[in-house]
Structure 1
């Protein structure tokens, strides 16, 4: 066992709460070891029950029993440490910078083991021997090595500071109690030391509790950051999906717009090409007729001219082009129509997106019931606590601290300190209403100012058409439709 103990380090036998060698070590379900007293006190002041090391949460307080194996190992380690400390203290060591040297040594100064508050000197092991063996010196008060022993003497009477004046909160000597501190409340240094040490112990416990609370707050903040990161990733993914669809819709609408305009232009060009082809055909025939007329007019054959005159002089068979023209198609409104269709599509996408967001938010839905203990006396609550209306007569109700005395308000029974909560309140048909959340510590008596500074986060409706967020100062709201 000794050989095995030598392979282990001091850190393996230290409680992570008190930072000392285990005393009655116990093991938590997650496998970590603590002093029984340390973990018991820790869980008495910290709920829920978490392991101080790995932060694993236990919904019920675990039953703890002393780990006999660890207890025996810790006892052996403590014994080995004491033996090591005892053996090392017997070795003569040269005083190093920062250590208290022996005042008696000549030449090389050895490290002091004790300081005498009577002799006002520090001694190494060799020079400390008289104080351990000589009867007169054995009564001297020894302490761990300290520098500036003169500071432990009364500057007025040159006597050891053995007492503490609680009136003036300073250390004094015996002669001081007969002079300047004669009527003061004076106690032995040890008595005050014990009291102050107890206070320090209490302060240390409070500090440890503050540290633990801050560690829990760190974990809470980290958890919030993780949730935020998850929400951010989800929103980015949703956003990319929505905007990709919107981009594709815009590109598709743009392509359809261009195709529509080009199709109109194509039909115009086809019509024009048909007219031009027909005109060129008529021009070709007219040229041929012109040649025939010219040849006939130059003929000297009387009979031939007279016989051909009727057919050549007749009007050619052509279209009346005076009423025919190419009218460019109107493109006015084409873009407007395309944008209008795109707007309708965007509106549908927005509606789908809103429904998806609302569905995701509704997973945090909570059941809210109204608390009759908080209701203003003229407020009438339904039996199930789900509805409230204004009565004409003020009921005679006890004016308990929770009840509003002058403001016609009522609060829900449910409360929360963190997290997300979703609930709906029906306001349809109301011409005036106030709605929001408040701190539990709000003032409920007398005149009340609805603003965040006083613990109110609310919106209201007045005169059937004026909406405002009471942010101090208020912010006017302009909803697209009346909320139900």
Structure 2
């Protein structure tokens, strides 16, 4: 019985080694293809490839595979895991460069700001002051949810912007339909005109849909990039500093104008008083 178990284990490990070698070969081929894609001027083609996750969808997470009896297996596993990570990061950097070409200048619209929000004079920062200000009625104002819209609206094409979220325990960033319900009851989901990603409780990340989708972040984002392709129905979110993809809403159907949306979260007694900051996009060709 022990001999049979040993032979079965050896056979399984031989199969894993063969699979490892095959996947290394495939990843190297994808790396070569990436080098070629990085020089293409067909931005839409590149974005379509990335949104379909074509470079990583079939790869196994080898860091979770345990192989104990042969050192050569570990020698193969470690470089493959690193190659997977390096390839993904390299591809995301290439995609981000393409998206950053569509950067737009976004400023906050004070007419839409929740009464507890305080905006900077230049319209680039928003924080929750923790106190509901006595303001005159404005039909544009977001009152049930403590958010603010960007002045700029887009009804076609592509656009991109970045937001600094460093030092915050709660935030929500994305885009919304201009016609959202700003006074009544609604859900912050695509069905009600919201395409957002949120962070709450310092380290929980969610894509707001029905039901909400839990996200796993390798590192805590400090700056979030938001890209929209109106015609393709695509809203994508990225951790700019780590060059990693956070989440994408795909196959959406947009109507009317879309506006950038920012929610700095509740103040929590000053714990979450750090502002959201619309940052200048640093684009390098």
TM-score, normalised via structure 2 length: 0.52
SS in 1 for 2:101: helix
Aligned match of 1:231 in 30, 33, 44? 44
Are 1:452 and 2:190 matched, yes or no?
yes
Distance of 1:479 and 1:375 partners within structure 2:
29
Report the Cα offset of residue 449 of structure 1: 2.1
1:285-296 correspondence to structure 2 within 5 Å: none
Q: Across the two proteins, how many residue pairs are aligned to each other?
A: 167
Change in Cα spacing, 1:474 to 1:345, as seen in structure 2 (3 Å) is: closer
Q: Structure 1: state its 5+ residue gaps.
A: 1-228, 244-330
Structure with more helix by fraction? 1
1:70-469 correspondence to structure 2 within 5 Å: 231-232=44-45, 332-469=70-207
Q: How far does the alpha carbon of each residue in 1:208-264 deviate from its partner, in whole angstroms, 9 at most, with x for none? A: xxxxxxxxxxxxxxxxxxxxx97337867xx9xx89xxxxxxxxxxxxxxxxxxxxx
Residue equivalent to 2:221: 483
Distance of 2:214 and 2:48 partners within structure 1:
29
Change in Cα spacing, 1:378 to 1:230, as seen in structure 2 (3 Å) is: closer
SS in 2 for 1:421: strand
Structure with more strand by fraction? 2
Distance of 1:466 and 1:230 partners within structure 2:
32
1:369/1:385 contact within 8 Å kept: yes
Question: What is the CA RMSD across the aligned residues, in angstroms?
Answer: 2.9
Distance of 1:428 and 1:233 partners within structure 2:
30
Residue equivalent to 1:277: none
Flag as ranges the 4+ runs of structure 1 deviating above 6 A.
233-236
Greater gyration radius: 1
Change in Cα spacing, 1:357 to 1:385, as seen in structure 2 (3 Å) is: same
Distance of 1:454 and 1:398 partners within structure 2:
26
- Structure with the greater relative contact order (CA < 8 A, sep ≥ 6): 1 or 2? 2
Q: Structure 2: state its 5+ residue gaps.
A: 1-41, 57-68, 223-285
Distance of 1:342 and 1:472 partners within structure 2:
36
Report the Cα offset of residue 392 of structure 1: 3.1
Distance of 1:457 and 1:406 partners within structure 2:
17
Report the Cα offset of residue 347 of structure 1: 2.7
Change in Cα spacing, 1:472 to 1:233, as seen in structure 2 (3 Å) is: closer
SS in 2 for 1:424: strand
Distance of 1:437 and 1:234 partners within structure 2:
19
TM-score, normalised via structure 1 length: 0.32
SS in 1 for 2:161: coil
1:399/1:405 contact within 8 Å kept: no
Distance of 2:104 and 2:177 partners within structure 1:
18
Report the Cα offset of residue 442 of structure 1: 1.0
Distance of 1:234 and 1:460 partners within structure 2:
23
Report the Cα offset of residue 359 of structure 1: 0.6
